[in-house]
Amino acid sequence: MWRQVQGSHDWDGLVQPLHPVLRDEAARYGELVDACYKVLDMDPSSSRHMCCKHAKETVLEDAGLVKAGYEVTRYIYATPDVAAAPSATSAWVGYVAVSTDEMTRRLGRRDVLVSFRGTVTQAEWAANLRSSLEPARLDAHHPDVKVESGFLNLYTSSGDKSGGVGGMGSCREQLLREVTRVVTSFSKDNPREDMSVTLAGHSMGSALATLLGYDLAEHGLNRDASGCRVPVAVFSYGGPRVGNEAFKDRCAELGVKVLRVANVRDPVTMLPGAILNEGTKGFLAGWGATGDCYTHVGVELALDFLSLRDPGSVHDLGAYVASVKAEACGKVPNAAEDGGILAMAMELVGGQSAAASTWKEIAALQMGGLVQSLGF
């Protein structure tokens, strides 16, 4: 049933209640994204600062995924071009991989995977502040399609005149080249083999995954060597809104399937567009307000978890994966009962690093959304 798990019928009947096969796949892709955090070198004194600590041949095993069933073909870098961080350098944001022969037999198709981490660097935080909608400009035919400017900047900017890391170009250019190469190569060698393209990411990474899915489909790059369309599915974990209603509609027209795994207590999933969004559009129109509103794309797989001992876990990818594995659509194992905003604030005063990181991202997205809402 791999096509259903990849969203061929918009996950109808698989989400509520959560089907065990979809549960396992959502957890598996979440772990493949979590690997990005585990192998990222965040030591400022290291010569490999903000790069992957391991070689492509062993990176998934080194991340603890001994039997991941994928071979990494390329590392992907992004270089934000933002005034708040003019000296930003390229940082490793994820990888492209393809399923092994053994995993392909298990899955029922050759799976091309792109995995993205979330926000980590100062330049990426600064990009989150740029929450205004702007034309995507990824094709010349749909000027009404708009996306969050900060995510678009991360996706399209090479950051400097040299063209990014080693002249490889922007994050977008690296991705389009590599995904096209892998799809064409494997479909040419195995013309009778089914194939899928899966894009998975957490937080900022889920926004990049969604932009890539739209971009691939819009330009017809998700086609194999014989010209047949390869299905594209996005597995988003704790992802923010990415674009406007026209962006959502165009993704649907192109057949880009997005499963949003979202904790109902995670504020990042409610941003940007805290004021201007799909839920308030009708209300604002009644008051004579017009303009674009942020709109979520795809189908939501709603989770509900919170630990007062670690309020930052509401956005933590490990907590997301644990909740999915527990078939929760409820709470992660041993999660504390919700004690309200005051209790959460008191925990934050304790200065836990995970919480501080989460709320830093929330604040950046919220401030950018507020600026847009006020029309500055």
> Which residues are catalytically annotated?
203, 266, 315
**Rounded CA separation 24/204 (Å):** 23
Element (H, E) at 353: helix 353-374
CB neighbour list of residue 66: distance below 8 Å, 6 or more residues apart: none
- Give 129: exposed, middle or buried? Use CB within 10 Å, 0-12, 13-18, 19+: buried
CB neighbour list of residue 41: distance below 8 Å, 6 or more residues apart: 48, 49, 50, 51, 52, 53
- Give 177: exposed, middle or buried? Use CB within 10 Å, 0-12, 13-18, 19+: middle
- Give 85: exposed, middle or buried? Use CB within 10 Å, 0-12, 13-18, 19+: middle
**Rounded CA separation 33/114 (Å):** 9
Nearest to 37 by CA among 99, 110, 78, 92: 92
**Rounded CA separation 135/145 (Å):** 6
Residues 332, 319: contact at Cβ < 8 Å?
A: yes
H and E: helices and strands count for the chain: 13, 11
Task: Name the token pair of 155.
Answer: 């996706």
- Helix 204-218, helix 171-189: angle, nearest 10: 60
**Rounded CA separation 343/102 (Å):** 49
Task: Name the token pair of 12.
Answer: 């109808």
Query: Nearest 5 degrees, angle CA 362-CA 170-CA 180?
Result: 110
